[in-house]
Chain A
Amino acid sequence: MGKGRISNNIRKLRFFRDEMTQQQLAEKVGVTRQTIIAMEQDKYSPSLELAFRIAHVFGAPLEEVFSYHPEDSQA
């Protein structure tokens, strides 16, 4: 089974939360700012726990923050 791709709307959601900074989000979810940057650039897919923590900070369901694209549906 091929590997899919996980994308996210973290940048957009930060913007709608009064332009929350990457540092503020990082502190709220307990990771470094570098990890937030890597996630926004789709260079890192977070663990399930971190994904839930991020969704909790934004008060949004998980699927609104993250979406999964199977390999065969990549554009």
Chain B
Amino acid sequence: MSFQEKNISASLSTFTLILVFYLIRVSQMVQAESFNSANLFRLWGIIAVLAVVGTILISIFAHIAGGIVHKIRTNEDTQIEDIQDERDQIIDLKGTRVAHTFSSLGVAASMLTFVFGQPPLVMFATLIFFGILAQIVSDIWRLNLYRKGF
């Protein structure tokens, strides 16, 4: 697995965990009837911090664990190819395009909640849900491009 693939896998794992955490917290809030703006925006803050810190920590762990496994298997030191060449850039751009498409669909879906007479809080909750989902879909898309080629 290349340096870039490890980073994408780390991001994918982080955002999947964040999505699960987000859905659990929102459902808990709804059940406890504490689904209000203060709690929801607090959750936004927690998710933003988790996304940054989680991605960094999981990336570091993935590279260290990958290095140890490589050393045990081949008895050679790991060579870190942290340069981003033209193929990585194209894959990044394709992933970003998918993320933008998904985010746009998410914004449209969020606005639809108004059409169905839902309060603004539901719109905000839907918006962040699609934001996280867009990142996950983008990561899966990029990993697929690395594996299958294009």
Q: Is the CB of A32 within 8 A of B81?
A: yes
| Interface size range on A against B | 10 to 19
Alpha-carbon gap, A38 to B5, bound state (A): 14
Q: Which of A7-15, A42-50, A57-65, A66-74 contacts B (4 or more CB under 8 A)?
A: A42-50
Residues of chain A within 8 A of B79, CB atoms compared: 23
Q: Is the CB of B85 within 8 A of A30?
A: yes
- Cβ-based interface call for A20 (8 A): no
Residues of chain B within 8 A of A35, CB atoms compared: 85-88
With contact pairs A38-B87, A44-B87, A46-B86 given, residues A33 and B149 touching in the complex (Cβ less than 8 Å): no
Q: Is the CB of A32 within 8 A of B88?
A: yes
- Cβ-based interface call for A24 (8 A): no
With contact pairs A32-B2, A32-B81, A34-B2 given, residues A41 and B149 touching in the complex (Cβ less than 8 Å): yes
Instruction: Determine the residue in chain A with the shortest Cβ distance to B1.
Output: A34
Q: Which secondary structure dominates chain A's binding surface?
A: loop
Query: What number of residue pairs across chains A and B have CB atoms under 8 A from each other?
Result: 38
The winner among A23, A31, A41 for most chain B CB atoms within 10 A is A31
Instruction: Determine the residue in chain A with the shortest Cβ distance to B86.
Output: A47
Q: Is the CB of B150 within 8 A of A43?
A: yes
- Whole-angstrom distance between the Cβ of A5 and the nearest chain B Cβ: 12
Alpha-carbon gap, A31 to B87, bound state (A): 9
- Whole-angstrom distance between the Cβ of B55 and the nearest chain A Cβ: 21
Residues of chain A within 8 A of B85, CB atoms compared: 30-32, 35
- Whole-angstrom distance between the Cβ of B61 and the nearest chain A Cβ: 21
Instruction: Determine the residue in chain A with the shortest Cβ distance to B87.
Output: A35
- Whole-angstrom distance between the Cβ of A12 and the nearest chain B Cβ: 20
Q: Is the CB of B149 within 8 A of A43?
A: yes
